[in-house]
Amino acid sequence: MTLPETPQTSPDREAAAAELDLDPKDWVALRAQAHRMLDDMLTHLQTIGEQPIWQAMPHEALERLEEPLPADPQGLERAYADYLRLIQPYTVFNKHPRFWGWVIGTGTVDGMLAGMLSAGLNLNAGGHNLGGTYAELRALEWCKQLFGFPPSASAVLVTGGSVANLVALTVARDAALGTAAEQGLQASGIRLAFYGSTETHNSVPKSLRMIGLGAAGWRPIRVDVDFRLDLQALTDQITRDRVEGIRPACVVANAGTVNTGAIDDLVGLVEICKRERLWLHVDGAFGAIAALSPSLRDLVKGMEQADSLAFDLHKWLHIPYDAGCVLVRDADAHRAPFLQSGSYLTRMDQGPAAMPVLFSDYAPELSRSFRGLKVWMAFKTHGTAIYGRLAEQNVAQARYLAGLITAEPELELLAPVPLNIVCFRYRGHGAAGPDRLNELNRRLLIRIQTEGIAVPSHTMLDGQFAIRVAITNHRSRRADFKALVEAVLLLGRAAETE
Amino acid sequence: MTLPETPQTSPDREAAAAELDLDPKDWVALRAQAHRMLDDMLTHLQTIGEQPIWQAMPHEALERLEEPLPADPQGLERAYADYLRLIQPYTVFNKHPRFWGWVIGTGTVDGMLAGMLSAGLNLNAGGHNLGGTYAELRALEWCKQLFGFPPSASAVLVTGGSVANLVALTVARDAALGTAAEQGLQASGIRLAFYGSTETHNSVPKSLRMIGLGAAGWRPIRVDVDFRLDLQALTDQITRDRVEGIRPACVVANAGTVNTGAIDDLVGLVEICKRERLWLHVDGAFGAIAALSPSLRDLVKGMEQADSLAFDLHKWLHIPYDAGCVLVRDADAHRAPFLQSGSYLTRMDQGPAAMPVLFSDYAPELSRSFRGLKVWMAFKTHGTAIYGRLAEQNVAQARYLAGLITAEPELELLAPVPLNIVCFRYRGHGAAGPDRLNELNRRLLIRIQTEGIAVPSHTMLDGQFAIRVAITNHRSRRADFKALVEAVLLLGRAAETE
């Protein structure tokens, strides 16, 4: 059969010359520009440790960014020049060897290249019968395997731990509602309760608010001296709720709290949830990665028996933002809240619409970026074993730092160091009262950050302002932590006499 | 003051030589590899129209992708070789000039480069006092301006229209619940109703299920012959609900339905929502872009008066996946469901934690990829005016295609063409019954796709299988649509005699 020619060779192509597109008019010039951009980025990454980890945006740069709507084209060269001047120098931050703020991954050079490929392919990774879909499905199988979930479990990539928690808690809610789930909370008349420690990440109460359970559905349970969920307090609360006609639905366990890296008694929680028939969700945003290390694995024992697990790939696995994942043991339960029909989405038996999966059956998103590519490439490039060794290295660095702190009488460790987070403060010679100490450490932290020495972050522990060093950084070396301690001592002494 | 040296020059650095990282061991080789990858990608994009728009994954490639967990490193070169062989050839799809399936953007070459920069910077764009945050804020101001929202409105970038709808409906729910929102739906005892046409995108009932309202909270309202929400049926339903003690909360209006591109009577809906004191949310996933064109703007008149608007940047603006946006007129209402405290998130008055914004106050995500960069760069590179002209071009192409179809007695237009979507079928000489016609067109569509002629998608309209051409493609030319019509006629005639 003779089929119509492609438009490239069609005479209509010329007649349509007036039609516009967004492609380069001069491919030679574009290629040269693109290679300059790549070269600049490689140099940026190769020299990252020599650049200021943080510097304030100069007034001029802030003003320049207040640009009115660019209705007319400026061209790639000018846009890129503005990027180089106004953005790049002020974003070294989490790529620097001395970044230990919040819990943020470092990224990699090959991750940058995977991001280039992904943006170039521009795949809407919804599940079409395309190479990208099969690669993403494979990456998900690898994730299940890494965390000891069975092949029958479901998995989906989302933007990060917050959405991973949101997905898991939605599934847990609907599993508890049973057949009443479809008509919603208002129609059900059922009152559910979700449990977790007071150290639980804010995305959990936030998710509960989103899914309609609100503060009335959340039971923050007290922690012990190690910031771990108190199991007795939990079971007492479950009993009280049952007496009041409330249906206990789900326990959220922490594998690595954001404040101190505390890991709840997961084995104990598995047992309680089995006995009480509750959904066990583990928030393992970063801590779950301990499962990849033979020497740390026992810390998160029990996690593999959870009903659902949320973890990030952009934190301790250093895959570029964004990439989080949620695993659910019961794939049918996972799909229940998200399955929606649409005649424009029905599958065909052949062609691109013969979809091996519809990822929107597992998460809020329908259109999706091709997150699977960077995961697939990173695992293949580096091998998954190295992530366990890097986690061990960071945990060893945390212990090294804790050791340096304990050895200095002017410093004070404010929490146990079970994993990769160290909370401490400068206490000087013990003369300052609590408010003065909090203020002193607040000022001290700002100086450490603004002078470009390092970027730890902060938190409050029992009313005490803590300098918080969360180590998810493959570029850090022991010397970096030693330098931090020296700077804190120098600046702390200076601040004390101010 | 003498500060500790950076670790690059510290003697400790050598002692720590045993410490690992994920950086290249040979930067010269890495640079060469990276430039090859960029060159390959540029060639891929430059020749996209000459490649098969879709081809089935060969059995060998599928098998090769079934790779066991790569515990050991394979290196970037091998991972990339596998990508080139197993993924890239099978993902041309939506970048091709003849792709008109679902509603998917085409992407751009500069978007690929922005993706490279973004993955290289690896910014967790949560709102820290960094260059990236200010660029993203600026891009959001531009978005508000493009759609006629006031400077006091709020805006946030999310993964796409589904999450943009989810955010807006959560805000609308809590605005309707008022002070009862904090304690959640179960405690409130309030029953809410949300309204929208039967043509509303599936992400709306899906979002309602997620936020706890379920099917009981959704009122699909019938459409007229132009697939637009019937205003009388809407007001009748609102009245019935009030009588039954249900609280009408929100109307979801379509600016471009996914099936046919129908645009609801937005001015009429603004009036009804004002009178009935309901939240008006507009789902403008792609149709909202009409506002950027002087000649199409009137089609979406009224949209600028909505309480919230969801639209995509990865569809008709061709920014790489993923990028969607939600605008909310009342910024306080926007924040209400998402604000959550955490002592590790408190702002400082100086340094990186002197955050100009905390984007997580506006959406489910805390960790976020730096979507603002690709928006900021695209708007500057191309200027925003061109997007209006490209939308006009696609709408003109849709009309051109509709004209070709109407001129052929063997073809049949199945819906009006108000915007950029054309639904039609091959009917031959009118002898086939409805089931036979549906089956014939289903087979026909699969042949068009699998023979690599073009990729339209499909939908069902009043029980009729429609070949659906949704034109959000800056690379398409009139000749491409002529070629489609010729192929449908050729293949349709052949299929009829099979």
pLDDT tens for B61-73 read 999 999 999 999 9
Residue B347: the pLDDT is: 87
The identity of residue B250, as a single letter, is: C
Using a CB-CB cut-off of 8 Å, the residues of chain B touching A379 are 69-70
Interchain proximity B116–A208, CB inside 8 Å: no
What is the 3 state secondary structure string of B78-132? HHHHHHHHHCHHHCCHHHCCCEECCCCCCCCHHHHHHHHHHHHHCCCCCCCCCHH
Residue B430: the pLDDT is: 78
* Gap between the Cα atoms of A252 and B279, Å rounded: 34
Q: What residues form DSSP beta bridges with A252?
A: A196, A281
Nearest CA to A484 among B462, B231, B4? B4
DSSP A465-488: EEEEEE---TT--HHHHHHHHHHH
Give the closest-approach CA distance of A270 to chain B in angstroms.
Answer: 26
Residues of chain B predicted below pLDDT 50: 1-15
Place of tokens 């979700």: A194
Please report which helix (H) or strand (E) contains residue A219, including its range. strand A218-221
Residue B453: the pLDDT is: 97
Residue A496: the pLDDT is: 83
Q: What stretches of A356-476 show up as alpha helix (H) in DSSP? A: 371-382, 385-406, 434-450
The identity of residue B399, as a single letter, is: R
Q: Which structure tokens are listed for B10?
A: 């510290």
Q: Are B321 and B162 in contact (CB under 8 A)?
A: no
Number of A–B residue contacts, CB under 8 Å: 657
**Cβ-nearest to A119 among B56, B115, B183:** B115
User: Which residue intervals of chain A bear CATH 3.40.640.10?
Assistant: 115-383
Interchain proximity A107–B124, CB inside 8 Å: no
* Gap between the Cα atoms of A349 and B439, Å rounded: 12
Q: Are B324 and B164 in contact (CB under 8 A)?
A: yes
Nearest CA to B394 among B103, B48, B51? B103
User: Which residue intervals of chain A bear CATH 3.90.1150.10?
Assistant: 386-496
Comparing alpha-carbon positions, the chain B residue that sits nearest to A36 is B35
Chunk chain A into consecutive blocks of 10 residues (it has 498) and report each block's average pLDDT, rounded to whole numbers. 40 61 98 98 98 96 97 98 98 98 97 98 97 98 98 98 98 97 93 98 97 97 98 98 98 97 98 98 98 98 98 98 98 95 80 95 97 98 98 98 98 97 94 92 96 96 96 98 98 87
Interchain proximity A116–B119, CB inside 8 Å: yes
* Gap between the Cα atoms of B319 and B303, Å rounded: 22
Comparing alpha-carbon positions, the chain B residue that sits nearest to A99 is B352
**Complex-level ipTM beyond the 0.85 threshold:** yes
Specify the CATH class of B115-383 in words.
alpha beta
Number of Cα atoms under 13 Å in the Cβ half of residue B434: 5
Topology of the domain comprising A386-496: Aspartate Aminotransferase, domain 1 (3.90.1150)
Alpha carbon A12 to its chain's center = 50
Using a CB-CB cut-off of 8 Å, the residues of chain A touching B211 are 210-212
